[in-house]
Amino acid sequence: MIDRVVVSLRRMSAVKTLRNACAALFIAGAVHSVRGETAARSDAAIAAAPTLLIIHTPALAPTADAWAEYRTATGWNVVRRATPDSDNVPWRREQIRRTIREEAAAAGASPFAIMLLGDADDDAIPPWMRTQHDDSLRDWTFDAYATDLPYQFINDDQSPDVPLGRIPARTNAEGLAILAKIAQYEHEPALGTWRRRVTFVAGEGHYGPADALLEQMFSRMVDQLVPTMFDVSMTYMKPSSPYCPPAADITQTILDRLEDGALLFMFVGHGNADAFDDLYCLG
């Protein structure tokens, strides 16, 4: 008999969705807060301030207003630009990139960063589709992958020139919720042992003998790259692994790890649309 255990994401209570949590961490790292006064600044101060370009969908204009107000209060010179209204997705991508390059040029030598405010689909702020030329990384069903990297190319040298983050909000409620989380984190950082915790959850590779090599590589990377000051938690969805809980407890174990909190929570594996992975075990 084969039991199928699905580690569902729908049961998250304290974490809401991984999408919002990851977006919050990403943009908080890509757009560093610069403390400043809320009073009006002189022209010289504005010229010296870092520039944040917010590219947003028209529907998220209220959220963009709130982000602009918050970042202006923390020392940024904020520029807002709505995405063009067109069903021609390639044309929209190019227009967004043109806007980014124009604003980067206007910023001159001042620090410049980009925030994409909108979901990563063709109806919002479309990502770029790039061909994967590395056979070891290519999906056998689809040889392209989505990325925002070309938006960071200012001078066509295929190398990112400016920091960029995306808030993949679909609604104003989602965008404002992420803003509230980041504002709270920046002004009232939560203290606790979670700051010294790194949590890994991994699915089985199903590559046969190569799995053992991948496991060794992963263990070596963790040993070498994660500083000893951090506590490392590992949940590996492979029945023969000592890091695998009983099949019936896996979902709750992962939810507990999420709710415990961690500086970094990382899933290593294939993943599914609505779950981390499927676990097949004989029983």
CA atoms 238, 244, 250, 256: torsion sign? negative
Q: From its phi and psi, is residue 275 left (phi > 0), alpha (psi between -120 and 50) or beta?
A: beta
Kindly list the distances between the CA atom of residue 186 and the CA atoms of 55, 63, 193, 243, 249, in Å, as whole numbers in the listed order.
Answer: 22, 18, 18, 35, 35
20 assigned to some structural domain = no
Domain shared by 149 and 88, yes or no: yes
DSSP of 181-198, one letter per residue?
HHHHHHHSPPPSGGGGEE
Domain count, the chain: 2
Q: Please give the Cα distance from 176 to 61 (Å, whole number).
A: 11
Query: Domain residues for 153?
Result: 31-187
157 assigned to some structural domain = yes
209 assigned to some structural domain = yes
Domain shared by 105 and 209, yes or no: no
Domain shared by 164 and 225, yes or no: no
Domain shared by 96 and 76, yes or no: yes
Domain shared by 47 and 124, yes or no: yes
Q: Using alpha carbons only, what angle is made at residue 25 by residues 100 and 62, rounded to the nearest 5 degrees?
A: 55
233 assigned to some structural domain = yes
The tens digit of pLDDT for each residue in 264-280 reads 999 888 766 677 777 66
Per-residue pLDDT of the chain (283 residues; tens, 9 = 90+): 223 333 333 333 333 333 443 343 344 444 333 333 334 455 555 557 899 999 999 999 999 999 999 999 999 999 999 999 999 999 999 999 999 999 999 999 899 999 999 999 999 999 998 887 776 666 667 777 889 999 999 988 888 999 999 999 999 999 999 999 999 989 887 788 899 999 999 988 877 888 888 899 999 999 999 999 999 999 998 888 899 998 889 889 999 999 999 999 998 887 666 777 776 665 5
Domain shared by 141 and 39, yes or no: yes
18 assigned to some structural domain = no
The tens digit of pLDDT for each residue in 88-132 reads 999 999 999 999 999 999 999 899 999 999 999 999 999 998 887
Domain shared by 155 and 214, yes or no: no
45 assigned to some structural domain = yes
**100-107 contacts at long range (C-beta below 8 A, 24 or more positions apart):** 100/53, 100/55, 100/151, 100/154, 100/162, 101/154, 103/51, 103/53, 103/79, 104/53, 104/154, 104/161, 104/162, 106/51, 107/51, 107/77
* C-beta separation of 167 from 175 below 8 A: yes
pLDDT at residue 269 in the model: 82
Kindly list the distances between the CA atom of residue 238 and the CA atoms of 7, 9, 61, 250, in Å, as whole numbers in the listed order.
Answer: 13, 19, 46, 11
Domain shared by 232 and 252, yes or no: yes
Instruction: Write down which residue in 187, 209, 233 finishes a domain.
Output: 187
Domain shared by 133 and 219, yes or no: no
Q: Please give the Cα distance from 51 to 283 (Å, whole number).
A: 59
Instruction: Write down which residue in 187, 219, 243 finishes a domain.
Output: 187
**What CATH number did the domain enclosing 65 receive?**
3.40.50.10390
CA atoms 162, 263, 70, 116: torsion sign? positive
Domain shared by 175 and 197, yes or no: no
Q: Tell if the pTM clears 0.75, that is, is over it.
A: no
22 assigned to some structural domain = no
Domain shared by 181 and 52, yes or no: yes
Instruction: Write down which residue in 187, 205, 229 finishes a domain.
Output: 187
46 assigned to some structural domain = yes
* C-beta separation of 57 from 121 below 8 A: no
Counted residue by residue, the chain has a size of: 283
Domain shared by 70 and 151, yes or no: yes
